[in-house]
Amino acid sequence: MELFDTRLNDDDHPMPREELVEAVRTADILVPTLTDRIDKGILAQAGDSLRLIANFGTGVDHIDLAAARERGITVTNTPGVLTEDTADMTLALILDVIRRVSQGERLIRNGMWSGWSPTHMLGHRLWGKRLGIVGMGRIGSAVARRARGFGLSIHYHNRRRLPDYAEQELEATWWESLDQMLARMDIVSVNCPHTPATFHLLSARRLKLLKPTSVIVNTSRGEVIDEQAMIRMLKANQIAGAGLDVFEHEPAVSPMLVALENVVLLPHMGSATIEGRIDMGEKVLINIKTFADGHKPPDRVIDTLL
């Protein structure tokens, strides 16, 4: 606010379409969040002065990048600053689902615990299990580092294989075939971005490759998994459990998911740390200030100017 004529969304509400249209008509720089869908229709109404969309977040699947490029609008994001926070939450969900932590907590809160017994609330041992990471970027690699400390065997599928030194550091095994990897994993962690190429990457067909004892954890985007197919398999015990921080149609969460005891549900809070939000804001400010000074912002997703 010291540097620019700034208008703020003071109460953090998801901005309705009419507010977004007004913003793109009048702003030189737009700072959206993941709940602000900047589609082709919105951008078609943008004023000539809009030249930068400085996204507050890493994922940009809510922005029509092709439409932005056509209009000569640069788009930036905030990579790297959420890596450790999201990886922490991924491990938390893995532990929760495997050891039935949330189920046990609900049992006590509902006054249904009658005392210890040798066969009560049995989960599974984490040590020695196979973890398959779908998307071995920054977050996937951070998940792998943490998982090694819990004795998990690290496997991954990625568009490109990691360099030898990175595989050796992470003690990770690359699978060229996602299908073959899925069929052999005890835990599957989704850590790839949502793009047209990854929409329903874990399709109904691929989900059927999982072992009945396998669990899925998703801290990426809900659209990467065919949610309805996953629900059907969870209900039929064809998948043992799931830990979900994201949903295909969020903020709507399927009542069928809510009803399942073998699922841990979180309200898209994987990156929700004070430190992470401050770091995101600082990244946004650097991108804006660099752009306003006539230079290329460091975190360009698409670069149409300069």
Please give, one letter per residue, the 3-state secondary structure of the chain: CCCCCCCCCCCCCCCCHHHHHHHHHHCCEECCCCCCCECHHHHHCCCCCCCEEECCCCCCCCECHHHHHHCCCEEECCCCCCHHHHHHHHHHHHHHHHHCHHHHHHHHHCCCCCCCCCCCCCCCCCCCCEEEEECCCHHHHHHHHHHHHCCCEEEEECCCCCCHHHHHHHCEEECCCHHHHHCCCCEEEECCCCCCCCCCCECHHHHCCCCCCCEEEECCCHHHECHHHHHHHHHCCCCCEEEECCCCCCCCCCHHHHCCCCEEECCCCCCCCHHHHHHHHHHHHHHHHHHHCCCCCCCEEECCCC
Per-residue pLDDT of the chain (306 residues; tens, 9 = 90+): 888 999 999 898 888 999 999 999 999 999 999 999 999 999 999 999 999 999 999 999 999 999 999 999 999 999 999 999 999 999 999 999 999 999 999 999 999 999 999 999 999 999 999 999 999 999 999 999 999 999 999 999 999 999 999 999 999 999 999 999 999 999 999 999 999 999 999 999 999 999 999 999 999 999 999 999 999 999 999 999 999 999 999 999 999 999 999 999 999 999 999 999 999 999 999 999 999 999 999 999 965 433
Asked if CATH classification 3.40.50.720 holds for the domain at 17-80+273-302, the reply, yes or no, is yes
Clarify whether 221 is annotated catalytic: yes
Q: Please list, in sequence order, all residues whose beta carbon lies within 8 angstroms of the beta carbon of residue 48, skipping any fewer than 6 positions away.
A: none
Instruction: Say yes or no: do domains 17-80+273-302 and 83-265 share a fold.
Output: yes
> Which of 221, 266, 262 has its CA nearest to residue 239?
262
Domain ranges of the chain: 17-80+273-302, 83-265
Exactly one of 99, 124, 268, 277 is catalytic; name it: 268
pLDDT recorded at residue 14: 86
Q: 83-265: what fold?
A: Rossmann fold (3.40.50)
Phi, psi of 290 (to 5 degrees): -65, -45
Residue 268 annotated among the catalytic residues of the structure = yes
Q: What is the pLDDT of residue 120?
A: 95
pLDDT given for residue 306 in this prediction: 33
pLDDT of residue 272: 96
Task: Give one word for 120, left, alpha or beta, with left for phi > 0 and alpha for psi -120 to 50.
Answer: beta
pLDDT for 303 equals: 56
Catalytic residue among 69, 145, 200, 250: 250
The pLDDT assigned to 12 comes to 87
Spot the catalytic one: 51, 221, 227, 248.
221
Catalytic status, residue 124: no
Q: How confident is the model over 170-192, as pLDDT tens digits?
A: 999 999 999 999 999 999 999 99
